[in-house]
Amino acid sequence: MRVIITGGRGLIGRALAENLAKDGHEVIVLSRNPEAAKNLPKGVRAEKWDGKSAQGWGKFVNGADAIVNLAGATISERWSDARKREIRESRVNAGKAIVEAVKSVEKKPHVVIQSSAVGYYGPRGAEEITEDSGAGNDFLAGVCKDWETSTAQLEALGVRRVIIRTGVVLDKNGGALPRMVTPIRLFVGGPLGSGKQYFPWIHLQDEVAAIRWLSDNPNAKGVYNLSAPRPLTNKEFTQAIGKVLGRPTFMPIPAFAMQAMFGEMSTLLLDGQREVPARLIKEGFKFKFADAAAALRDVLK
């Protein structure tokens, strides 16, 4: 099986590429600088792309089994107007490039996995969020809507499309968790803001397993929430980290301090969604780490 991954050097993409390659699949990672992608997992090769067209790599789509579109500029930097444009355009342009590539080949891929995020739903307090919940109206919700729409044309071409709205992915080597853990290790950690905002999380192993399950399942199409079945509040999740590490978590960081440090980007930390993976559960996907304590023990120990 040939799988093409955009964003293959990121946390999810790298783990997915390695997992597929271990099973003997042909994995192609698209990179703006393939020469710098020397530390890819064994069995994974990089091909050059410009992030906005099919030039140079589109030929590999002919006969490919799946494309996993994870490309997009990081959102974990302070949001200037220029940065917000880059966040949006990097995602939309990647999607357009995939559509261009698929249109250009005779033998089209069986499935495209289109990445999105829990931010699609906007801040929702304690409301339980399923795939049927509507979109929010803030910046991240708008980005996610545009991100998802960027590959919508593929369905008219007869390609099965799956949209994954992912929560916070847990891994010790990347993503948000190491930044959360450091102050707790140093005895200065605690809830962010009120601590009442929900924190939708998923272990990296379950993220990869879910993507592969959705790719392999010919009946899977449309939107799927990728997060663990039992989301916690920020306070509960912080306390779970403290318990695993044997550290106290009694020093909350006030919302105004987060807003002063991060500006508009502080919404990532102070707002949340009580996202549940309703469709994955209904259709029989089995989580290896459904419990936050077990997931944290695996990642942090």
Residue 261 has a pLDDT of: 82
High-pLDDT (> 70) share of the chain, %: 99
User: Are residues 117 and 144 in contact, defined by beta-carbon separation less than 8 angstroms?
Assistant: yes
Q: Is residue 38 over pLDDT 80?
A: no
How far apart, in whole angstroms, are the C-alpha atoms of residue 117 and residue 143? 9
Q: Is residue 197 over pLDDT 80?
A: yes
Q: Is residue 161 over pLDDT 70?
A: yes
Q: Is residue 179 part of a domain?
A: no
Q: Is residue 74 part of a domain?
A: yes
Q: If you count them, how many residues does the chain have? A: 301
Number of folded domains that form the chain:
1
Q: Is residue 217 part of a domain?
A: yes
C-alpha torsion angle, residues 265, 299, 14, 90 (rounded to 10): -10
Q: Is residue 279 part of a domain?
A: no
Determine the structural domain holding residue 95 and report its residue range: 2-169+201-227
CATH number at 220 reads 3.40.50.720
Q: Is residue 286 part of a domain?
A: no
Q: Is residue 217 over pLDDT 90?
A: yes
Type of residue numbered 132: D
CB burial string 77-101: b at 16+ within 10 A, e below = eebeeeebebbbbbbbbbbbbbbbb
Q: List the one residue out of 148, 166, 274 whose CA is nearest residue 222.
A: 148
Q: Is residue 280 part of a domain?
A: no
Q: Is residue 35 over pLDDT 80?
A: no
Q: How does residue 77 score in pLDDT terms, banded at 50, 70 and 90?
A: confident
Q: Is residue 162 over pLDDT 80?
A: yes
- More confident call, 40 vs 44: 44
Residue 105 has a pLDDT of: 97
Q: Is residue 89 part of a domain?
A: yes
Q: Is residue 257 part of a domain?
A: no
How would you write 27-42 as a 3-class SS string? EEEEECCHHHCCCCCC
Residue 301 has a pLDDT of: 83
Q: How does residue 37 score in pLDDT terms, banded at 50, 70 and 90?
A: low
pLDDT tens digits for range 245-299? 999 999 988 999 889 888 998 898 899 999 999 999 999 999 999 999 999 999 9
Angle, helices 139-149/81-104, rounded to nearest 10 degrees: 10
- More confident call, 76 vs 148: 148
Copy the structure tokens of residue 297.
């023990």
pTM for this predicted structure: 0.95
pLDDT tens digits for range 118-149? 999 999 999 999 999 999 999 999 999 999 99
DSSP, res 157: G
How far apart, in whole angstroms, are the C-alpha atoms of residue 46 and residue 36? 9
How far apart, in whole angstroms, are the C-alpha atoms of residue 301 and residue 287? 20
Residue 78 has a pLDDT of: 87
pLDDT tens digits for range 222-237? 999 999 999 999 999 9
Copy the structure tokens of residue 5.
């991954």
Copy the structure tokens of residue 234.
């920020």
Region 85-102: what's the mean pLDDT?
Answer: 98
How far apart, in whole angstroms, are the C-alpha atoms of residue 261 and residue 78? 9
Copy the structure tokens of residue 46.
């990089």
Q: List the one residue out of 45, 5, 40, 2 whose CA is nearest residue 24.
A: 2
Which helix (H) or strand (E) segment holds residue 277: the answer is none
